Amino acid sequence: MKERIKITIKNIAILMGAILIASCGGKEEKKEEPIIKRAKKEVTQKTPRTKMTAGQKAFLLCAACHNLKKGEPNKVGPNLNGIFGRKAASLADFNYSEALQNSDIVWSEDHIRKWLEKPTDYVPGTTMAFIGIKNKEQQDALIEYLKEETK
């Protein structure tokens, strides 16, 4: 009987030790940076923020989820190469929401502006989790940037 109690206490001690080690290890481990922060860092490493145009700065809001150049992979969002004039939800290798697939949008400057204002209002049911850009100048700068960079 005594022996059994001893064993249990020993087991508890081992268990607590293991928990302690596990929790310490957890603290040491660096928390993963949020995806948006990481993307911003990637972009700012290429071009320092102070040298960025307004459009480049605005695109920092999109860079976590979108590539712009031909041949680059889709991220959380589809590659935006050739977006002007492209039918919405038309990339074969991206899993779009039904809402965007069912929209009749062909992306023009006007559509993109309204989309940027608040995607979830413009196409209810879209999976683009982005709060929107209300500032008109920022919209202009971003649209100009997209026109250049998605050619």
Q: Report the residue number, 19 or 106, with the smaller CB distance to ligand HEC.
A: 106
Q: Report the residue number, 39 or 48, with the smaller CB distance to ligand HEC.
A: 39
The token pair that represents 97 in the structure block: 């929401």
DSSP string, 80-140: -TT-TTPBTT--TTS---HHHHTS--B--HHHHHHHHH-HHHHSTT----------HHHHH
Distance CA 81, CA 68 (A): 5
Judge contact between 135 and 55, C-beta under 8 A: no
Q: Looking at 83, 122, 141, 145, which residue binds ligand HEC (CB under 6 A)?
A: 83
The token pair that represents 1 in the structure block: 């009987």
The reply to whether 78 sits near ligand HEC by the rule CB under 6 A is yes
Contact characters 38-77, ligand HEC, x per CB under 6 A: -----------------------xx-xxx---------xx
Q: How many residues bind to ligand HEC according to rule CB under 6 A?
A: 27
Give contact residues for ligand HEC (rule: CB under 6 A): 61-62, 64-66, 76-78, 80, 83, 88-89, 91, 96-97, 99-100, 107, 112, 115-116, 126-130, 133
